[in-house]
């Protein structure tokens, strides 16, 4: 459980920096843009590694509830939308233009779906944290847009098409074996 908690705290700490423009600008000045990005990326990868290892070490330690089977199917349905929204964050589409941050909505949807379908304390910590992070990021983004620090680009339907195709392909890969290979659990069984 300790590795999971350390990973979550480290992930949150490094991802709060871009939400504070003045802090990020100070770090740009001190280390340069590339130096900051390399440091940010290295710490984020370390945090994800700690989360991954810590989650699987703690997954079966404390079971809080036993979700019914139907919650997995509901979660799998939510994940189709989360997959498309995650890819919509990469392309200048109408979805991104309208939602401003489809990736943060994808994170919240992913976290909520997994909270529905899982019942251990490790699940609550991991997915509850990412739900909190998605909400805090969205609030921060709205403030940065209002302050003129972030501009949402005009989108095209071509961007949405790419998001739909790649998101659907990613979803299919996860359903038909990738999720089980990476995480040891079939999302449907």
Whole-angstrom distance, CA of residue 33 vs CA of residue 91? 23
Mean pLDDT per 10-residue run, the chain (189 residues)? 94 83 82 88 95 92 92 94 96 92 95 95 95 90 84 89 97 95 86
Residue 10 CB coordination number (10 Å): 18
Give pLDDT, residue 112.
97
Give me the phi and psi of 120, to 5 degrees please: -90, 165
pLDDT at position 187: 86
- Rounded Cα gap, residues 130 and 112, in angstroms: 9
pLDDT of residue 185: 87
Helix (H) or strand (E) holding 108: helix 102-117
Letter string b/e over residues 23-58, b meaning 16 or more CB atoms within 10 A of that residue's CB: ebeebeeeeeeeebeeebeebeeebeebbbebbeeb
pLDDT at position 151:
84
Write the CB contacts of 156 (distance below 8 Å, at least 6 apart in sequence): 92, 93, 94
pLDDT score of 44: 94
Q: Find out whether 154 and 87 touch, Cβ atoms under 8 Å.
A: no
Give the pLDDT confidence score for residue 10 in this predicted structure: 95
Q: How many residues in the chain? A: 189
Distance CA 185, CA 158 (A): 34
Cβ atoms of 84 and 44 within 8 Å: the answer is no
DSSP state of 149: S
Residue matched to tokens 């890969």: 173
pLDDT at site 15? 86
Region at 120 (left for phi over 0; alpha for psi -120 to 50; beta for the rest): beta
pLDDT of residue 24: 80
């Amino acid at each position: 459980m300790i590795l999971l908690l350390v990973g979550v705290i480290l992930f949150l700490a490094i991802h709060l920096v871009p939400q504070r423009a003045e802090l990020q600008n100070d770090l740009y000045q001190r280390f340069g843009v590339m130096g900051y990005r390399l440091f940010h990326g290295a710490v984020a990868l370390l945090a994800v590694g700690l989360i991954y290892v810590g989650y699987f070490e703690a997954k079966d330690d404390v079971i809080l509830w036993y979700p019914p089977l139907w919650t997995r199917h509901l979660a799998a349905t939510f994940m189709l939308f989360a997959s498309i929204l995650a890819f919509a964050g990469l392309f200048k589409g109408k979805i991104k233009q309208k939602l401003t941050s489809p990736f943060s909505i994808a994170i919240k949807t992913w976290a909520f779906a997994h909270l529905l379908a899982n019942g251990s304390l490790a699940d609550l910590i991991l997915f509850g944290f990412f739900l909190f992070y998605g909400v805090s990021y969205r609030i921060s983004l709205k403030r940065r847009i209002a302050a003129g620090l972030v501009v949402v680009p005009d989108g095209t339907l071509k961007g949405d098409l790419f998001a739909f195709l790649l998101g659907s392909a990613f979803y299919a890969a996860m359903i038909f074996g990738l999720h089980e290979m990476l995480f040891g659990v079939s999302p449907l069984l």
